[in-house]
Structure 1
């Protein structure tokens, strides 16, 4: 493992960290992937299937999709019922909103036109651009997703049905229920185990750790019960930054946008800031 360069740990599976790793490597950083969470279909797949059938019959005016995992999970559930998500959207004449350009691109690749993509890839950004209305909106989300999007849409007059489309579990998930996630083409960063990370820290290396979701924050916190670890926390966005603060970790930097370039800039800022303030090597948890 490189110790002469800034070391970065991205809390994602290597197949889903290719673009981030490429941006970090281009900035001269040694980058590794450490997956802590995985994604599975919900225990009650029938509930999702029922809402997709209703969507195909025209029961919903909007479908709001908040992640690539949701796109994949909905596609898997539709396929398990012998249909295609794009056909259901088309037959139901439903408008589609995507939180973020990556999610919008995945929907487009699946043959699903997207009518609304906020510039700010967040629930708050979507709510700012979402019209008022009194029809029905389907919001398929993860089990751990906060309730702010559903509540915000309801405040705008909509009748909102939130359904659990997938669940976040400790890595690795059950092979038969796993939602594979969005695999990126290109060279994958090396996989790092928790034991290797602890050995790196014991050798005096203080890595930047890129937290990619609140669920990763929780899993990382649970693993730290084995002992303290010196690291510079970097959040992929405001929601994850809030989750870090809940655990007593002030983010060294938060990405202004969740793109690989935005994350690389935040990591560079974290290293610069960390050197200036000589952070406590034993974050409270």
Structure 2
């Protein structure tokens, strides 16, 4: 696997035009696939940073499609379809297409609720009737925003086999009957090169972005949690979302920069604030 920075030309222009950004010249490792990282990479490059894409998470089909297929067949029995990622949208839409099922033409007694605008856009393009987009882009917040509208409803929740239990628990607290189905599996990429990743993470980089607890887990499997703890003394370890932050802290990382939202703008803002504060701090001071 090669670490990719396809925005080098953009960076060369941006670092001249925007030298004031605290991200100028900073090498930022993005640990998810380029297909879902382009906007973030562009935002970083526009501020003079050098984005390096090194995916630590990949996806695979469920080992058994039967639960997902049954749920699609019975979609009219549900009130809500909760979608927490573009991957979940693609998995459901793709399965309906491959199997000849007619999710889009099913009786529209159900509505879709999405964790954020990117997921909502994908769901709309797939023909799903999006009725709610979370203002705060995480699953528990989505459940809280739906609130009393969930009471007595049936909810279909297609998700990863590694998804954490917080969302279904929150939905149930609000009175929903939740059917969870595995729409896809989250796996470690088969082409992760330990040597290349090590040279990247432990080399001349300034920040590493983790987007999921699975990415944290896969990094730990590759190097051990002791190494990730050691990294915090030289690299800005950044979590996108509270679930990822929790995973990093459980791995022993005490100093975690947290982007509370998952949007590219929020991630960039969190990094800019960190590096601006680090620049202003007295020599030798440790940043939280």
Q: Does 1:98 align with 2:102?
A: no
- 1:258-277 pair list within 5 angstroms: 258-273=262-277, 276=281
Match of 2:14 in 1: none
Match of 1:46 in 2: 66
Match of 2:142 in 1: 126
- Secondary structure of 2:182 counterpart: strand
What is the deviation of 1:202? 5.7
TM-score (norm 2): 0.80
1:36 pairs, out of 56, 60, 65, with 56
**In structure 2, distance between residues paired with 1:71 and 1:202:** 35
- Secondary structure of 1:116 counterpart: strand
Of structures 1 and 2, the one scoring higher in RCO (CA 8 A, sep 6+) is 1
Check 1:279–1:40 CA distance in 2 against 1; reply closer, same or farther (3 A cut): farther
What is the deviation of 1:139? 0.8
Contact 2:79 2:110 in 1 (8 A): yes
What is the deviation of 1:197? 4.3
Contact 2:112 2:130 in 1 (8 A): yes
Contact 1:98 1:116 in 2 (8 A): yes
**In structure 2, distance between residues paired with 1:243 and 1:234:** 11
- 1:231-242 pair list within 5 angstroms: 231-242=235-246
1:255 pairs, out of 259, 263, 266, with 259
2:85 pairs, out of 67, 72, 84, with 67
Contact 1:59 1:92 in 2 (8 A): no
TM-score (norm 1): 0.81
**In structure 1, distance between residues paired with 2:184 and 2:285:** 37
- Greater shift, 64-73 or 123-132, is seen at 123-132
Q: Which runs of 5+ in 2 are unaligned?
A: 9-23
- 1:152-231 pair list within 5 angstroms: 152-172=170-190, 194-200=194-200, 205-225=204-224, 228=227, 229=231, 230-231=234-235
Match of 2:17 in 1: none
C-alpha RMSD over aligned residues: 2.5
**In structure 1, distance between residues paired with 2:272 and 2:138:** 23
Match of 1:113 in 2: 129
What is the deviation of 1:151? 1.5
**In structure 2, distance between residues paired with 1:152 and 1:72:** 24
- Secondary structure of 1:115 counterpart: strand
**In structure 2, distance between residues paired with 1:255 and 1:154:** 27
Check 1:143–1:122 CA distance in 2 against 1; reply closer, same or farther (3 A cut): same
